[in-house]
Amino acid sequence: MTVIDLSNMIAGGTTTSHLADFGARVIKVERPDIGDPIRAWGPFKDGESIWWNVLSRNKESITLNLTTTQGQEILKKLIAEADILVESFRAHTLEKWGLDYKTLSNINRSIIVVHISGYGQTGPYSDRPGFGSIAEAMSGFVNANGFPDQSPILPPMPLADELAGTFAAMSILMATYELNKGNSGMGQEIDVSLYEPLFRLLIPNVSQFDQLGILVSRLGNRFPDGAPRNLYISQDGKWIALSANTQGVWEQLAKAIGREDLIIDPRFTTNSQRVTNVEHLDAIIQGWFSSKTISEILDILNRAGAVVFPIYNTDQIMEDPQYNARGNIVDVPHEILGNIKMPSPIPIMSRTPGSVHRPGPILGGDNINVYQEFLGISETDITDWKEKGII
């Protein structure tokens, strides 16, 4: 699979990163002057963006000025040899350049074109610029995130972008399956917005409002449909996550903390009763946590089969035996940094596992490889394009 990546920043970069991890050839097309803006995102070490090196791993970088007629003609040559095109410009930008889906499919009948934009390619907001934080607000996620007596909270990561990128990668696999298994021989156009994937994950919100008039409210670390589920703090000031939403796990927890009486307490007999009386239940559980150190808590609850885990920061993740056993962190050779650790490809596959063979490439570092060897362009033409600012 050959993927032409015209995207900038995170959503499109996430899409093609997933594909590159599992063997797709991803040709990252960047502006000749500054490249993808993510190259300028810190933190940096020895001038190297950590974000860039992880997000653009396994990809090739070429430079191409798509605002020029010749640059657009060169892109058409790439399209003729590719399977997938991913772009994240403002809606309809490709159309303005004469690179609409009909034109591209005439060049390559099987091409799959993925558009990633703030609001999608249609609708009254489609021409607006969009970023992930706006999508997170629009989806309903931010309204539900936080504590009841405090303001809504944006996520501490580009959640909408990374989720849209993951959905886009999934959509490419769906379209590729249809192309290979169907009889049309045609690719298709895929429209991914930043807000819709996150909206889709908020599973009951629309239906519960439609049927019951229930509006989402902020509950902090609690869960509206199950209890107990919260973060609790130990005697020595360590935070621990606990979830006991099923009846069996709840009863194991009650026995483990020496409160078997809670199982038959009418306030806590069923999940719905526990949700109704969650303030009382959390106070009881926190009281037990406050009497013990984190080591004592984990020892008792893990032996009892409760679902519990300490709140990790990255240093603890790096030392954790489960992460280590599953190879979740890999070392990638880097010309300047020596080795750089980063997350391994996910998911883990038995026959065709993913791999990371290179960090994010230098700007235009693969121009000769792609233009000369992949497209068969002469060295003279490549030099001429460079002198004219086309690449």
As annotated, the active-site residues are: 161
With CA atoms as reference, report the closest residue to 366 among 62, 153, 130: 62
DSSP assignment of 321-347: HHHHHTT-EEEEEETTTEEEEEEPPSS
CA atoms in the 13 A half-sphere facing the CB of 27: 23
Which residue's structure tokens are 């908020």?
202
Q: Is 377 helix (H, G, I), strand (E, B) or coil?
A: coil
| Interstrand relation of 59-63 and 44-45 (parallel, antiparallel or unpaired) | unpaired
Going by C-beta distance under 8 Å and a sequence separation of 6 or more, which residues neighbour residue 363? Answer: 30, 35, 39, 61, 63
Which residue's structure tokens are 């430079």?
63
**How far, in Å, CA of 391 to CA of 75, rounded?**
11
* CA dist list (Å): 241 to 65, 270, 299: 50, 21, 14
Going by C-beta distance under 8 Å and a sequence separation of 6 or more, which residues neighbour residue 141? Answer: 155, 159, 160, 198, 202
Phi-psi region of 127 (alpha: psi -120 to 50; beta: other; left: phi over 0): alpha
Are 85 and 114 in contact, with CB atoms under 8 Å apart?
Answer: yes
**How far, in Å, CA of 292 to CA of 84, rounded?**
56
Structure tokens at 78: 């790439």
With CA atoms as reference, report the closest residue to 26 among 84, 113, 80: 84
Give bridge partners of residue 49 from the DSSP assignment.
Answer: 44
| Interstrand relation of 239-243 and 229-233 (parallel, antiparallel or unpaired) | antiparallel
| Interstrand relation of 25-30 and 59-63 (parallel, antiparallel or unpaired) | parallel
Are 298 and 291 in contact, with CB atoms under 8 Å apart?
Answer: no
With CA atoms as reference, report the closest residue to 220 among 229, 212, 233: 229
